[in-house]
Structure 1
């Protein structure tokens, strides 16, 4: 009975560790240039891919900001509630990739790679075009 309890505890702990290493959850975005918190983005899994939406803009003066630099169906739409991450899939190496991330400040869309760090407390967000990339490190809120 003790062995069964230990085995079940180990299984539960390993499942919790995997869940903590997932990008699914609520994240505080951090500007890589100013190191200031900008927004809260909720990442969820839908049909095997990740989708991330702006849930809150932290600067009260920017609550009503629109994406005037965006193209297509996002042009002149509110940034609050906007899907900025789409299509990332688990890569098998602890990261999620092959999706896209939109920077609503400049309207550019980048190829995306998400890598949980520090036991899932930090999310490395890499957006790249060809060989050029930029990283942000988001902080887990929940």
Structure 2
């Protein structure tokens, strides 16, 4: 009986962890080149100190070693550590919105909609500058 209770407890813990993973963008994601589809970075979405979500580059898979196009404070620094999404707050529709930064071309944008798709295996990031919007899809890194 004890073994059954232990097994049931472990199964419920594992199920709740996987369910949380599918409903939260927190974790590591592969960002892809818009034109080639090649993986460019591993970017980690995490809970920031102020309770919002943020994302920063944790691995460089295909960018130059340093960011020559970046403005201060990232000018000439490695891409690893650059914050690409910040101040993401939950919306009623299950998406998040906040601020974005694309270091490869030094663009700040409004992260209008950041939402999980494909059962939580992909993250759709819609960024807008004025009325021009573009959507990128990140793939969960396992």
For normalisation by structure 2, the TM-score amounts to 0.80
Paired position in structure 2 for 1:104: 103
* Structure 1 contact 39–58 (Cα < 8 Å) conserved: yes
TM superposition outliers: structure 1 runs of 4+ over 3 Å: 12-16
Q: Report the Cα offset of residue 71 of structure 1.
A: 2.5
* Structure 2 contact 89–96 (Cα < 8 Å) conserved: yes
For the pair 1:83 / 2:83, whether they are aligned, the reply is yes
Paired position in structure 2 for 1:114: 114
SS in 2 for 1:73: coil
Paired position in structure 2 for 1:27: 29
Q: Which runs of 5+ in 2 are unaligned?
A: 1-10
Q: Report the Cα offset of residue 92 of structure 1.
A: 2.2
Q: Report the Cα offset of residue 69 of structure 1.
A: 2.4
Aligned partners of 1:130, 1:17: CA distance in 2, in Å?
A: 36
Aligned partners of 2:16, 2:44: CA distance in 1, in Å?
A: 24
Q: Report the Cα offset of residue 73 of structure 1.
A: 2.1
Aligned length: 131
Q: Which runs of 5+ in 1 are unaligned?
A: 1-8
SS in 2 for 1:72: coil
Tell me which of the two structures has the higher relative contact order, counting C-alpha pairs closer than 8 angstroms and 6 or more residues apart: 1
Aligned partners of 1:130, 1:14: CA distance in 2, in Å?
A: 40
* Structure 2 contact 30–141 (Cα < 8 Å) conserved: yes
SS in 1 for 2:69: coil
Write the mapping of 1:22-61 to structure 2, written as runs, cut at 5 A.
22-46=24-48, 47-59=50-62
SS in 2 for 1:74: coil
* Structure 2 contact 28–141 (Cα < 8 Å) conserved: yes
Q: Report the Cα offset of residue 76 of structure 1.
A: 2.8
SS in 2 for 1:69: coil
